Every structure is written in structure tokens, then in C-alpha cells.
Structure 1
Amino acid sequence: MKASEVLCTLKQRFPNEPEYHQAVSEVLGTIEEVYNEHPEFEKANL
């Protein structure tokens, strides 16, 4: 998962939600490294 790609998609889907974008950005920045270390997360569509 690339946090920037996820955030870009969410900004397109929810363009008028800047607080949501900020919250998602903060969470993704926190979990991205761990998420990428565990491919089973992506297989489970988490």
C-alpha cells in the first residue's frame, strides 16, 4: 500500500472533506510501514 495513492483516491471520492483527508493522512502515515511488512493484511483486504 502506498499512503499517497490511498489518500489521492479518497480525495477524489470525498473532495469536500478536508478534516477526513487530514485524519486519514495521519493514520496512514502511522501504519504504512507495518502494513507493508505484513502482506497478509493486503490479502485479507484490510
Structure 2
Amino acid sequence: MASKKAKQKKTKLVCLSHKEDADGISSAALIREALGGDTVLADYPGQMEAL
């Protein structure tokens, strides 16, 4: 009996942070280093567009 491999979902990790928040920026950098992915810095009015 041949073994079946589970189909893996393609996912992309994105961390969105306020561009003027030092805690958010450093947290986004830590997440990027630990898990990979992209960091997006945006201000409050630009968050929906950034998403």
C-alpha cells in the first residue's frame, strides 16, 4: 500500500505594525527573524490599504 502525503497549504506570514510604534516595530522584527515572512509598516489611515 502506497503512503499518501498530506497536501500542504501554501501560507504567507505577514506582520503588520504601526510605523511609528517602537514596540510594534521591534516585535515585528522579532517575528520576522523567528518565523520568516514579511513586515509591513503602516500608519492608522493606511492599514486597510496595506492589508
* TM-score, length of structure 2 as denominator length: 0.34
Larger Rg: 2
Choose between structure 1 and 2: higher strand proportion.
2
Q: Which has the higher helix share?
A: 1
